[in-house]
Structure 1
Amino acid sequence: MFTYSFATVIVALIVSAYGHDCTKYSLTPSDQSLIDMMKHYLHTSRKADCPVAPAQQDIGVTYVRWGKQTCPENSDTVYTGQAGGNLYTNKGGGSNYLCLPSDPENGKANSYANEGLYGAEYQIHADTKPSGLPASLVEKEVSCAVCRRKGRVSVLMIPGRKSCYKGWQSEYSGFFMSEYKTHNNKDYICMDGDAKPLDNRASNENGALVYPIRTKCGSLRCPPYKDDTEVLCTVCTK
């Protein structure tokens, strides 16, 4: 309403200055100053009301690269660290895996009995490991990196495929993994096909555990799927 009133004043001034017959009349300096002021106000008011499109270089998406402490060449590294989550036997607490930064800002010591944050270990044995991953990963901690892909607006993890659909680009591919079926639930994650350990320590400390997933036909239609096969995955951006 306020802007509309100003606009009405400008129109009235312009009409009075030019007349109804489009003949130009002389303006006093004070008239011209008022018109210029109103034009400037309306111009800046309209700009403030319009959404500002972000610069192309400010657009991007983030994703976790599980099993690696580096990001693909086309992505920036936000931070690196180790995978973690809730203890596999805990009934309460979180059910997702986390990428924990390697430079935490720790809180104060406390004694309440609600430990819910553990490191995550690979449970990849020689007889159960997906093809391409070494059995030497067993009971070593899982590394991770949070990556940012500039110029993209969507990110999607696709289970059951190692390549992206048309119009999407793969950031990395690997194997579908999660907690063991008799343990408490965890999210599914896409473990890099060239996964590496956090370090060389392997002491079977448990915590959040990461196992390969295989298919089971029945309610899962076979074909197109096949029974008892490792599940591939890929992380795609667009």
Structure 2
Amino acid sequence: MSTFSFATVIVAFVVSTYGHDCTKYSLTPSDQSIIDMMKHYLHTSRKADCPVTPSKQDIGVTYVRWGKKTCPEKSDIVYTGQVGGNYYTNKGGGSNWLCLPNDPENGKAYSYSNDGLYGAEYQINSSNNPSGFPASLYDKEVPCSVCRRKGKVSVLMIAGRTSCYKGWKSEYSGFLVSEYKSYNSKDFICMDGDAEPLDNRSSNEEGALFYPVRAKCGSLRCPPYKNNTEVLCAVCTK
């Protein structure tokens, strides 16, 4: 029954109860029960039309913490996993990094030749190791975690800084990394400055490869940037 027709019933009921001469009559328990039912219907029908305002507990943002199996303090972990991506010499396929869960729901095996998802390895050794970055990660697979920060509405990765701007909260900081410049293109991501291996295995299985990025002066203005320096980064929320 629509609100309009229900309101018509209420008017008819009031007229029959009070009379055409506006004389007030006593309501029986049955009459009062009908009125209460009508009030309940109108309240619930109008409430359904009102927008629902999410509580602060329901508000939050998600981000990937690259290189770590845990989330920062005050952030909840959605899931932990390992980094995946396209093979470093493939010219087609995806160009982004993925945080793949450790408990996948796998599809059926098939023979189509588009095998475009591989694990990712650190390609960071003594010759290209950023300052303060763990030196024992070469050829180790890369973990990741998807984190949720309650009460925040924006998340931002800032390349070139380890601190956030005023009003923003740092979730973690580290070094800008991507695929090597002569391989297939990948996103720039912020690798945690305290990165760890997925496990103890180290077998150079290739796949998607992480290299640190350095700044190159020219169209990139120096100053404020400096030539051949490691590029720092921070993930910030607000």
Q: Structures share a fold, TM > 0.5? A: yes
Aligned-partner Cα distance in 1 for 2:154–2:180: 30
The residue aligned with 1:107 is 107
Q: Which moved more, 1:101-110 or 1:90-99?
A: 101-110
Aligned-partner Cα distance in 2 for 1:16–1:223: 86
Amino acid at match of 1:61: V
The residue aligned with 1:184 is 184
The residue aligned with 2:121 is 121
Aligned-partner Cα distance in 2 for 1:195–1:68: 6
The root-mean-square deviation of aligned C-alpha atoms, in Å, is 2.5
Amino acid at match of 1:83: V
Amino acid at match of 1:102: N
Amino acid at match of 2:42: L
Aligned-partner Cα distance in 1 for 2:224–2:212: 20
Q: For residue 50 of structure 1, report the CA deviation from its aligned partner.
A: 1.5
Structure 1 residue 158 and structure 2 residue 158: aligned?
yes
Q: For residue 53 of structure 1, report the CA deviation from its aligned partner.
A: 2.5
The residue aligned with 2:232 is 232
The residue aligned with 1:84 is 84
Amino acid at match of 1:26: Y
Q: For residue 186 of structure 1, report the CA deviation from its aligned partner.
A: 0.8
Q: For residue 110 of structure 1, report the CA deviation from its aligned partner.
A: 1.9
For residues 27 and 95 of structure 1, do their structure 2 counterparts lie closer, same or farther at Cα, with a shift above 3 Å needed? Answer: farther
Amino acid at match of 1:194: D
Q: For residue 167 of structure 1, report the CA deviation from its aligned partner.
A: 1.4
The residue aligned with 1:69 is 69
Aligned-partner Cα distance in 2 for 1:62–1:224: 31
Structure 1 residue 25 and structure 2 residue 24: aligned?
yes
For residues 28 and 70 of structure 1, do their structure 2 counterparts lie closer, same or farther at Cα, with a shift above 3 Å needed? Answer: closer
TM (norm. structure 1) is: 0.87
The residue aligned with 2:136 is 136
TM (norm. structure 2) is: 0.87
Structure 2: 5+ residue stretches without partners: none
Which whole-Å deviations, capped at 9, do the CAs of 1:98-143 have from their partners, x for residues lacking one? 1112222222222221111101011112121211113321111111
Q: For residue 11 of structure 1, report the CA deviation from its aligned partner.
A: 6.1
Q: Secondary structure at the match of 1:181?
A: coil
Aligned-partner Cα distance in 1 for 2:5–2:105: 54
Q: Secondary structure at the match of 1:146?
A: strand
Q: Which moved more, 1:161-170 or 1:145-154?
A: 145-154
Q: Secondary structure at the match of 1:65?
A: strand
Which whole-Å deviations, capped at 9, do the CAs of 1:72-119 have from their partners, x for residues lacking one? 121122221211111011122111111112222222222221111101
For residues 24 and 160 of structure 1, do their structure 2 counterparts lie closer, same or farther at Cα, with a shift above 3 Å needed? Answer: farther
For residues 41 and 122 of structure 1, do their structure 2 counterparts lie closer, same or farther at Cα, with a shift above 3 Å needed? Answer: same
Q: Secondary structure at the match of 1:222?
A: coil
Q: Number of paired residues?
A: 237
Amino acid at match of 2:92: G
Aligned 8 A contact 2:81 2:101 in 1: yes
Which whole-Å deviations, capped at 9, do the CAs of 1:52-89 have from their partners, x for residues lacking one? 23333332221111111111121122221211111011
Aligned-partner Cα distance in 2 for 1:16–1:89: 84
